């Protein structure tokens, strides 16, 4: 039970036919490949890491569906009672935002559960898990030894793909020349993708031409080149 009296929430993802396709190349190639090989993970454990908005949650959802795993968040573990975590019935477990600052004890209980039952477990966080927690020491040492799949910073191809995707979610269709112009000149971070898409919505012309695309970058204080 959580402190509010509710059950610890577990999701059991299924593949949604309308789900946006995952990017398997470029910046995601290494992490996606590692998730594909989950049956061969050392100790049945893996952490996928990357900066904010890098797409970690979507990767965890993909793996959870593939491995028939339950999905829980670090925040939920932080709010749950340890004995409730220890009694969970799962054959595989994905923990999103496992680096939540209050999740250490709950995370340790979840890792113990998976170890005792031989259940594979996938964690996500923004940085290498060795630096997530200083205590308990047992948790710290186990996280330091965990294999890590890194979502790399966006390359040109992946940045353009993600920008098209974010614009489509806002019902914006950009011509290829605008996508190329923006992706080659915008700030190279995952966070910037959403910022640029939001700015396109606010900019006259909505980046349907290069003049409008240039105004998008100027509006964000980015160098339009």
Relative to beta strand 93-96, strand 45-49 is unpaired
135: its two tokens = 């205590």
Q: Is residue 85 part of a domain?
A: yes
Domain range spanning residue 83? 26-150
Q: In this structure, are 107 and 189 located in the same domain?
A: no
Domain stops at, among 119, 150, 181: 150
Compute the distance between CA of residue 148 and CA of residue 143 in angstroms, rounded to an integer.
10
CB of 144 within 8 A of CB of 47? no
94 phi/psi in degrees, rounded to 5: -115, 130
Number of domains comprising the chain: 2
- Whether 10 maps to a domain, the answer reads no
Each residue's pLDDT tens digit in the chain (225 positions)?
A: 344 444 687 888 765 545 666 788 788 999 999 999 999 999 999 999 999 999 999 999 999 999 999 999 999 999 999 999 999 989 999 999 999 999 999 999 999 999 999 999 999 999 999 999 999 999 999 999 999 999 998 988 899 999 999 999 999 999 999 999 999 999 999 999 999 999 999 999 999 999 999 999 999 999 998
Rounded Cα–Cα distance for residues 118 and 178 (Å):
50
Per-residue model confidence (pLDDT) at position 130: 97
Same domain, 164 and 116: no
Out of 101, 130, 150, pick the residue that ends a domain: 150
Helix 56-67 × helix 29-36 angle, to 10°? 20
**In a domain? residue 3:** no
DSSP 11: B
Same structural domain, 128 and 172: no
Asked if residue 99 and residue 41 are part of one domain, the reply reads: yes
Same domain? 96 vs 185: no
Q: Which of 150, 166, 186 is the last residue of a domain?
A: 150
pLDDT at 196: 97
pLDDT, position 21: 67
Report if residue 11 sits inside a domain: no
Residues 191 and 92 in one domain: no
The CATH number for 141's domain is 3.40.50.300
- Asked whether 196 and 170 are in contact (CB, 8 A), the reply is no
> 77 is written with which tokens?
């573990």
Per-residue model confidence (pLDDT) at position 9: 77
The pLDDT score that the predictor gives to residue 63 is: 95
CATH number at residue 207: 1.10.8
Question: To 10 degrees, what angle do helices 210-219 and 190-202 make?
Answer: 120
Let me know whether 135 and 79 are in one domain: yes
Listing DSSP states for 170-184 in one string gives TT----HHHHHHHHH
Report which of 153, 147, 156, 154 is spatially closest to residue 123, judged by C-alpha positions.
147
Distance CA 78, CA 68 (A): 23
Specify the pTM.
0.87
């Amino acid at each position: 039970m959580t402190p509010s009296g509710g059950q610890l929430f577990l999701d059991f993802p299924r593949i949604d036919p309308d789900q946006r396709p995952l990017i398997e190349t470029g910046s995601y190639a290494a992490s996606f490949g590692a998730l594909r090989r989950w049956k061969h993970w050392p100790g049945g454990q893996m952490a996928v890491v990357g900066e904010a908005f890098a797409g970690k949650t979507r990767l965890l959802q993909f793996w959870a569906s593939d491995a028939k795993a339950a999905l829980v968040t670090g925040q939920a573990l932080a709010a749950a009672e340890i004995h409730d975590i220890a009694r969970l019935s799962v054959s595989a477990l994905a923990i999103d935002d496992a680096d939540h600052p209050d999740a250490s004890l709950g995370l340790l209980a979840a890792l113990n559960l998976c170890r005792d039952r031989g259940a594979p477990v996938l964690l996500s966080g923004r940085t290498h898990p060795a630096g997530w927690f200083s205590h308990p020491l047992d948790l710290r040492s186990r996280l330091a030894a965990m294999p890590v799949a890194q979502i790399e910073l966006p390359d040109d191809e992946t940045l353009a793909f993600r920008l098209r995707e974010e614009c489509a979610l806002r019902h914006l269709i950009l011509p290829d020349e605008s996508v190329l112009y923006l992706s080659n000149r915008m700030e190279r971070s995952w966070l910037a993708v959403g910022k640029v898409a939001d700015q396109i919505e606010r900019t006259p012309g909505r980046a349907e031409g290069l003049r409008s695309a240039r105004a998008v970058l100027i509006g964000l204080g980015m160098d339009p080149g």
